Chains A and B, each alone.
Chain A
């Protein structure tokens, strides 16, 4: 495909492989035309934690993985003029920019143009009371909860504005994931805000790339049913998109993985509800006419996206204090293991009563379809299980009180001496939780505060 812009994925979620971007950069280096590398590493909950870190230290609150992901590829991208677009900014894009300049300086780059996008953090311009008063469209109830973060999903236009400042790297906080891809396309092709079918095509490319290897064979393998070669070195995907919105998808050269109609369809529908109305700040994308054609091994062409005008509201994620989650597990193995595990569950239920713990608590046996079951255990009652293999008893509890979570999970630990014979391998974990809810807000008021800013290396302290 000639005249296209090439955009590769370097990471598709906050825990993704640190070395995946290397082969993508290698592949991009050998392509003609404009090239981009994107990193999507920002989960909804991550932002609340980042916001807390920023409040404690104004130089913190960006992705803790920034340097780990960029270290190997920043210089190579700079030398090959591959632009980077990433949401390492998290709650503090400016601090992230300074970190990038520090990294650049250690790599011998003195004139890197780092541009940040700001304005997604609504705590700058809204009061918590005002935000909590807006009715939620999905997620947890925010009643009586402490608001930790409120971030609007910005669209691609801010990223194209940032690239317009001559950025080598754009750092954003919360934008839609697809905007990381659509932004560069708008910048390159000067698509207007009413060219809906083109914006839809760019959003489609972004939706497919945003989860990295989930497009190219990751999260797909089922041995002997649908095999994927060499997942230990799975190649991350790259899209080539033309001015007219034609898309080709392929993956890093000499890599493992698989990219065909089946892998693409799985990712196409991933986290999609109504496929005729996939809402983004830039366009409403209609997937229903999309077709996929295999044109070479690990290479497909995808076309037929249609778009219409976006809504007048933007989605905002509210992160609130979610109390504590306590979890603990213990194993039973060998003769009569299932009966011993059941006895352990019975003891735990009675201990909960004795301790007068009112919170909802889940007590289950891993190995008895527990992962698919409900809190009530309805599913496992329908099935038979081997008495003499191995099982793991698990307790989970949520509470606003850390002490309650601790006391209930301690009961699993106490099974060592007070429980059935042969229990072992106790693990106990109490973790602070962040809950999220979504609201819709008028886009004009949010977009009035979005801005792009070139961060100069002179601000880096040496």
Chain B
């Protein structure tokens, strides 16, 4: 068993609508999808973004959608943009850079890992 940064297993793009952010998580290899399904949970994603989520909903702020045919996961996080483009004070009101925070912050246990080269 190895611990691998999510960054090496998947890629991601962030999008925004108001104060809500969506993040895709797309495995570089389809065979990694089941591992991501098991470990990239709403709870794990909530932990990464906890410092930015301004809501009493806790982990309920995060919704996960599964797309096994692609395969990919899609996360929607409510109230994560500190007001977004409307009210936010940070440099990235759209949250466009958050995809790389997710990929950097999460570590995944995998049985077999051959380094992916895209």
Contact = CB atoms under 8 A, between A and B. Distances in A.
A240 to B, nearest CB: 22
B118 A269 contact: no
A386 interface: no
Interface in B57-94: 63, 65, 67, 69-70, 72, 74, 76, 82-83, 85-87, 89-92
A142 B19 CA distance: 15
Nearest to B72: A265
A222 B13 contact: no
A226 B82 CA distance: 30
Given A265-B24, A290-B70, A435 B118 contact: no
B41 interface: no
A144 B88 CA distance: 19
Contacts of B52: 373-374
A98 B76 CA distance: 43
Interface string A112-142: 0000000000000000000000000011100
Contacts of A373: 51-52, 90
Contact of B22 (A219, A272, A290): A272
A225 B69 CA distance: 23
Contact of B86 (A272, A322, A360, A394): A322
Interface residues on B, range: 35 or more
Interface stretch (A22-30, A88-96, A160-168, A364-372): A364-372
B17 A138 contact: yes
Contacts of B7: 225
B97 to A, nearest CB: 5
A361 interface: yes
A371 B16 CA distance: 16
Given A226-B11, A396-B89, A265 B98 contact: no
B67 A371 contact: no
Contacts of B82: 374-375
Given A372-B97, A394-B91, A271 B17 contact: yes
Interface string A303-344: 010000000000000000010000000000000000000000
A425 interface: no
Contacts of B28: 262
B11 A371 contact: no
A272 B70 CA distance: 15
Given A139-B86, A269-B22, A291-B69, A374 B15 contact: no
Contacts of B63: 273
B65 A275 contact: yes
B94 to A, nearest CB: 10
A396 B90 contact: yes
Interface of A: 45, 138-140, 219, 222, 224-227, 262, 265-276, 287-292, 304, 322, 360-362, 364, 366, 370-376, 378-379, 394, 396-398, 435-438
17 contacts: A138-B19, A140-B86, A140-B87, A262-B28, A266-B11, A268-B70, A270-B13, A271-B15, A273-B65, A275-B67, A372-B97, A373-B90, A374-B52, A375-B89, A375-B90, A376-B51, A436-B86
